[in-house]
């Protein structure tokens, strides 16, 4: 039995791999520093961190049960007992908004997760293979984009039935075209690069090339679109709940709170003002952070 010496790694190859890893690490560190230095993106990041912390510690922050009713104290203005007042059933608005932050995060994660997974796969396949596959997928995407997003979401919820889960599925489906088009555009440019041609020349299968070489290089636009889509998903889900197609009573969802309080907007404006402000600031936070990420991850804006 003959012993064969282990192959000695080429030092040039090792140096190239280490150089690429170092360059990638520096890119993300530099992007993080650009986000922190940007005032608008930093404000958006702070708003999102406050939302996440509020959702995590909701039982500790809330002063009352979000579903406890006190008809005697209905429509009470903001006070030391009820920081943001009470609604038509005497429920504490502050506690309902705090617990509603959990639902907003759930909507953002699930709805955008559905849109991202399906949209990235469709856009990647369409851009990589092209020809008739690209034509079929993109024509379906064009048809979906021909409908206003809220109308398409209403139609889907009408088919699936009202409820928070179905609303998240509908909002996720509505968000698929944005991810598909962005990923397709990125794949069309990436698949023509030299390292993709090298992977094909050594016999790598299409699925491996797409999943291990092409899509990982589309991470930057996917991250930006995901951040921007979360705010849109929260806003769309709130709109569905406002119409009675999303979260059902007594779920403390911000859009449903707006719907419940619209009848008393003149006599008790705090019932709709504070849930509306919560939606406004959360959507604003994700939009500001998304714009900051887009600037930070754009190599054309680097000195």
Q: Rounded to 5 degrees, what are φ and ψ at 92?
A: -70, 120
Q: What is the predicted pLDDT for the residue at 198?
A: 76
Mean pLDDT by 10 residues, the chain (303 residues): 48 46 60 72 90 93 90 89 90 93 91 93 87 90 88 90 91 93 86 73 74 79 89 91 87 89 88 93 91 70 51
Give the pLDDT of residue 49: 93
Q: Residue 93: helix, strand or coil by DSSP? A: helix
What is d(CA 79, CA 82) in angstroms, rounded to the nearest whole number? 5
Quote the pLDDT of residue 301.
52
pLDDT for 219: 82
91, 268 Cβ separation under 8 angstroms? no
All domains of the chain in start order, with CATH: 34-70+79-301 (1.10.3720.10)
- From the list 159, 284, 170, 175, the residue with the least C-alpha distance to 237 is 170
């Amino acid at each position: 039995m003959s012993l064969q010496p282990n192959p000695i790694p080429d030092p040039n190859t090792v140096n190239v791999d280490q150089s690429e890893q170092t360059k990638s690490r520096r890119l993300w560190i530099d992007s993080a520093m650009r986000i922190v230095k940007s005032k608008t993106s930093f404000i958006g990041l702070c708003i999102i961190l406050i939302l996440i912390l509020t959702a995590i510690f909701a039982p500790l922050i809330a002063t009352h049960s979000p579903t406890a009713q006190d008809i005697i104290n209905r429509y009470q203005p903001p006070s030391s007992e009820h920081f943001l007042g009470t609604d038509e059933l005497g429920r504490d608005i502050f506690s309902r908004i705090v617990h509603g932050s959990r639902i907003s995060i759930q909507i953002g994660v699930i709805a955008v997760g559905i849109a991202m997974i399906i949209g990235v796969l469709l856009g990647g396949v369409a851009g990589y293979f092209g020809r008739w596959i690209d034509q079929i997928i993109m024509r379906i995407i064009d048809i979906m984009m021909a409908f206003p997003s809220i109308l398409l979401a209403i139609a889907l919820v009408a088919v699936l039935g009202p409820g928070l889960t179905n609303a998240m599925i509908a909002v996720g489906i509505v968000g698929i075209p944005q991810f598909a088009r962005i990923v397709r555009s990125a794949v069309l440019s990436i698949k023509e690069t030299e390292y993709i041609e090298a992977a094909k020349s050594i016999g790598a299968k299409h699925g491996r090339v797409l999943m291990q070489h092409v899509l990982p290089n589309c991470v930057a636009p996917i991250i930006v679109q995901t951040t921007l889509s979360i705010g849109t998903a929260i806003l769309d889900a709130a709109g569905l709940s406002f119409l009675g197609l999303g979260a059902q009573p007594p779920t403390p969802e911000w859009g449903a709170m707006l719907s419940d309080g619209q009848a008393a907007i003149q006599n008790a404006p705090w019932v709709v003002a504070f849930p509306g402000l919560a939606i406004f600031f959360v959507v604003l936070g994700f939009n500001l952070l998304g714009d900051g990420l887009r600037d930070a991850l754009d190599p054309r804006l680097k000195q």
